Structure 1
């Protein structure tokens, strides 16, 4: 086993004050490792970076087509959204089309990350609903398939047919048997795999063909929906959204909790998976930006790239105190 390697450093003045270590893997269409840092075999939870895999059964089953789901629905099924009106209005309309309500969700409620939505709830002395959960789009997808198949309502239980379908898809595209699962923040099982397995899965998405069978066709629809609607996948000022907009060619990006990030690069049939060992979001965002720049799909001087990589750190008076940057050799 290889230890995590230095990936992102934080400077204050002339000194490196903090160093984030981690692992990263780039795989090609054959599932082979093109480049790696740290331990490609490290066993990880991909967390929300796996949402497009969890959405595969929704599309390949025919449920999405039967319910008339659009690319906006599919982007939301892959999203960790901010809970802004552009997200919650669409998910609520989706639920209404299913004849369901917020009570049918099993994701739990939390305050939205979107400041106007959060402030509106506070001013109204209102509590957030489950639709504000960043995973509510994924759960609307779960409910759609559950309803289409006539399965029971507790769709997040590990032995529920919904989650068994997710596990089958997960093990297929990672080409690995998942050794275990943990319960995610939204209460659904999150299946473990190796970092290489996750990169392999993203490369599979990147090389999928519309005429390659129902699963590959579903993969194409999902990554295309993410690229078409980056604002629905995360939200304004979020790395997923801003970097997808900034890339010079179609790239689907998705963050996951505890410092995880993936990239699907269809034009090059490459998949990327990276994990910051300490779970730091700032390091994951800097590292994935550096890898995208290294691969030539993102201009390192693009304003969006500079937001997350080689970005100035300002104090409360707006004085620049340091910077966050990839370590030498990563980019």
Structure 2
């Protein structure tokens, strides 16, 4: 992704591996500053994923792959390393895809790099296919952050927008703030700004207002896990955006690589939903915003039923929820995804 550091434009990945350890952009510090964290053990990897230094399903998977390769290099107990990392976050399916891939490839560093390269290439293909859905002067709604920070580069939901911008389609992006961690206003808006893509941050509750006024042409979001029938989990608040889009006749697309599809489960009812610490809801920048004595509930994701999805944008092409059987066949012919 393009990053402006002290007036100099550089290309930087969200996660990468070095002899020193696994390097990550600490996404908790954005947009105020770019700070690199170095994970030197499987415990550091767990910390990075669990405490959301890195987030986004594909990026979590790549971090796990790099982390397991590093753990082997450090002569750690690999059974324990796998167990710890697998428990770091339960919803994102890419995490488990990466762990399985690394286990079957003996945790080799070359395997981790192959995994990262595959995810990178697939996110680019998502952009190429998704760009076909974006017309000139399109006004696009997105929720949470499904950009380069959530993958390595390109992104999932933001990848088509990058291609559309590069082609001069003059797009405009409505960025949901995405409470409680504000990944939209902090991360997505930062990425779009770095790329020079016109956008505006809106309150989570404002999307329906702009839809009803006819100011949104389509919505593109990412996903953390997609069931066989097309139900999908994504950042909390996605479900209500999908319902509003259908009510207002607005196409609602989900962009995700094959690694996010879990064909082992039939419906979204089987997707485990992480519930995070209530303080993320009760506090903002260490300032309490709820009355002392009030408790909070903080589900990190919700599940959107397949009837609200117009189509899935994948590296294999664009598929309606009822056509995911065809996508599964394509995946079965894909040696990387057949894991």
Q: TM-score, normalised by structure 1?
A: 0.25
The structure with higher relative contact order (CA 8 Å, sep 6+) is: 1
TM-score (norm 2): 0.25
